[in-house]
Every structure is written in structure tokens, then in C-alpha cells.
Structure 1
Amino acid sequence: MFEKMQRAFWKALTPDLVADEPKVVAPVMVEGLAPQIVAALGGADNLKSQQPVALTRVRVELRDVARMDRLALDVAGVAGVMTLDNGVVHLLMGLVVAGR
């Protein structure tokens, strides 16, 4: 911790002489959805929002519905897919949504 404070002190005094620490970018995690399902929906960057709406269903809003892979959703264990207007998709998942 002392080293970080010392580095910050010298960085403040001589900003052009002390190199910045590399920043580590954490992978985007989507809470409540398996990685296979997120990939089948076109990746985490394709998701605008997601929320459970019933014990057996998740409502997902996608930026681009064309990136969704229905076959991959079937393989990932999604029982059914209902596509609505404006990129809204309901995933029928069974009791997996309820955590059972």
C-alpha cells in the first residue's frame, strides 16, 4: 500500500515521468444467465437488459435480434423462445430461472 501511495505522490509531481499502471478490464458478466445462453444471444454487448418475469421465463432486450442463434439457445437448454417487437425476447427456461 505504501508503494501505491508513493507512486501516486511522484505521479502527481512528475506526471510525464511516471508511467501509468496498466488497467485490467474485467469480462462482462450477465447475472443469472449461463455463458452459453449469453453467447447464443449474440454476446454480452448485444444485451440491453435482462430480467426474470416469472418463475420460468426471462425477458431480454437485444440491440440486434439478428445476432441471436436459436439453435445454440436450444443446445444451451432454453425450452422456448418468443420474439417480440423492438428487440424484446422471452426465454422460456423452466425452473432454472427460480434457481431450482
Structure 2
Amino acid sequence: MFDKLQQAFWKALTPDLVPEEPKRPASVDGLAPAIIAALGGAENLKSHQPVALTRLRVELRDLARIDRMGLSAAGVAGVMTLDNGVVHLITGLQG
């Protein structure tokens, strides 16, 4: 974390001397393949993070690609859609 803070500091002072970090696609570590597929694939994920033991917050590029039946089959108990492509998945304790 300190390295990223230090790099951001130097980037702000000398923007043309510090190279940009390459943008990597959103990682899908910790998500079941069935959930990823039901969310429209890995390319549809902008980000994901656990919010609580029983909930996962994901940000999607296209909400229309969500397969609610697929999420239900993958063990997701509930889906709550918010603004700007944000979706909360109620997963229960199994993750």
C-alpha cells in the first residue's frame, strides 16, 4: 500500500516522468464460475468486493446481461440492482 501511495505522490508531482500502470481487467478471484457466467462473463465485470459475510457488491458494464435464473441456480439467494451498474448479490454464508 505504501508503494502505491508513494507512486501516486510522485505521479502528481511529475506526471510525465512516472509511467502509467497497465490497466488490467477486473479479476474474478473468489467468484464461482457459475456466478461469473450468470453476470454476463468476466468481461462484463468492472469490479467486485465482499460487503459482508453474506453479500457481494459487483459493478457491471451491462446490466441487461444478468441471468437471474443462472444466479439462482448458482446459489445466489437474492439480487438487488442499484444505479450505475451496481448489483448486490445475497449469497449466504457459502460465498
Unaligned 5+ residue runs, structure 2? 1-25
Match of 2:48 among 24, 47, 50: 50
Give the TM-score of the pair, scaled to structure 2.
0.71
Deviation of the 1:29 alpha carbon = 5.7
Deviation of the 1:94 alpha carbon = 0.4
1: CA distance, partners of 2:33 / 2:27: 8
One-letter identity of the residue aligned with 2:40: G
Give the TM-score of the pair, scaled to structure 1.
0.67
Deviation of the 1:32 alpha carbon = 1.1
Count residues in correspondence.
Answer: 70
- Provide Cα deviations, 1:65-95, integer angstroms capped at 9, x if missing partner: 0001001000110000000000000000001
Percentage of identical aligned residues: 74
Unaligned 5+ residue runs, structure 1? 1-27
State the match for 1:95 in structure 2. Answer: 93
One-letter identity of the residue aligned with 1:53: V
After superposition, the CA RMSD in angstroms is 1.3
- Runs of 4+ aligned residues of structure 1 deviating over 2 Å after TM superposition are none
- Structure of higher CA gyration radius: 1
State the match for 2:75 in structure 1. Answer: 77
